[in-house]
Amino acid sequence: MRLLTLIASTLLTALAALPLQAAEGTVLITGANRGIGLALAREFTEAGFDVIGTARKPDKASELKATGARIVQLDVTDPDSVAAMARSLDGVAIDIVINNAGVALDRGRELPDLDMAAIERTLEVNTMGPIRVMAALYPNVKASDRKLFANISSMMGSMEMNTWGCCLGYRASKAALNSASKTLATDFGKEGLTFVVFHPGYVQTDMNEGKGNITPAQSAAGLTRVIAGLDADDNGKFYDWEGKELPW
């Protein structure tokens, strides 16, 4: 059984590394100025998509600019910024919205020492941020051909997979994002919209101080392949970066 699991994992990784066939459409990626978001911008550009990347400080997003992406200012925690983004994209059909912007601010385990401000900030960015973006860009996505919202969550948002604790606010924020995505999938699937959440893998990013077992480029390559291949049958699902379905 272990050998079969290893073979399956090796095949999935190899498939993720294969180049995508030429595609077309428009994808918007939040938090696209670094890490997984930047790697996703590169992958989707190479796959033939028109990419819109958001950044809190566009003037500092030089690597994102180098991809050829259209850059839009966005702070997902600021309703005014979200509204301004939506106005700037009025009438633009967006096939795929990838809610990637996120933070991990709380790491304590001791209940008396929980950093409530950090937990609140984490929920504001990781849960409320994507909900704001989805609400604001609903008309854009509904007007597109693919009609897809892909939300970058985490296996740490899975109730079933929470066997070692830690990071209360981060886990709660991702579990809430999963729940919101599942609710929206149920409510709006009948309109042809698709909502899917993803675990990007344990990725070497600034969020975890460069720890992890895969690079942003590896994660983005797998995510791009899986996301680009989604359809209405995937509505309300939870996948990892290689396309494996995960438990809620």
pLDDT digits (tens, 9 = 90+) for 141-155: 999 999 999 999 999
- Determine the pLDDT at residue 210: 65
Q: Which domains does the chain have, with CATH numbers?
A: 23-240 (3.40.50.720)
Residue linked to tokens 């609400």: 135
Per-residue pLDDT for 78 more than 60? yes
Does residue 8 contact residue 15 with C-beta atoms inside 8 Å? no
Which of the four pLDDT bands, split at 50, 70 and 90, describes residue 109?
confident
* Band of pLDDT at residue 86, cut at 50, 70 and 90: very high
Residue 19 above 80 pLDDT? no
- DSSP 8-state class, residue 33: T
Q: Which residues contact 204 (CB under 8 A, 6 or more apart)?
A: 210, 211, 212, 213, 214, 215, 216
Q: In what order do the strands lie in the sheet with 26-29?
A: 70-73, 50-55, 26-29, 96-99, 148-152, 194-199, 238-240
**Is 138 an annotated catalytic residue?**
no
Q: What's the confidence (pLDDT) of residue 30?
A: 98
The proportion of the chain whose per-residue pLDDT surpasses 90, expressed as a percent, equals 84
What mean pLDDT value characterizes the chain? 91
Question: 56: buried, middle or exposed (CB in 10 Å: 19+, 13-18, 0-12)?
Answer: middle
**How much is the pLDDT for 4?**
44
- The neighbour count for residue 103, using CB atoms within 10 Å, is 18
Strands 96-99 and 26-29, sheet pairing = parallel
* Mean pLDDT lowest among 10-14, 67-71, 186-190, 194-198: 10-14
Q: Are 49 and 66 in contact (CB under 8 A)?
A: no
Does the global pTM surpass 0.85?
yes
Q: Which of 138, 170, 202, 239 is catalytic?
A: 170
Query: How does residue 23 score in pLDDT terms, banded at 50, 70 and 90?
Result: low
pLDDT > 80? residue 9: no
Give 161-183 pLDDT, tens digit per residue: 999 999 999 999 999 999 999 99
- The CA-to-CA distance between both ends of the chain, in Å, stands at 24
Assess contact for 201 and 218: CB atoms under 8 A.
yes
What is the reported pLDDT for 105? 94
What's the rounded mean pLDDT across residues 82-90?
A: 98
Q: What is the pLDDT of residue 5?
A: 39
Is the pLDDT at 16 greater than 50? The verdict is no
Q: What is the pLDDT of residues 211-247, one digit of tens each?
A: 778 999 999 999 999 999 999 999 999 999 999 999 9
Among 100-104, 107-111, 136-140, whose mean pLDDT is lowest? 107-111
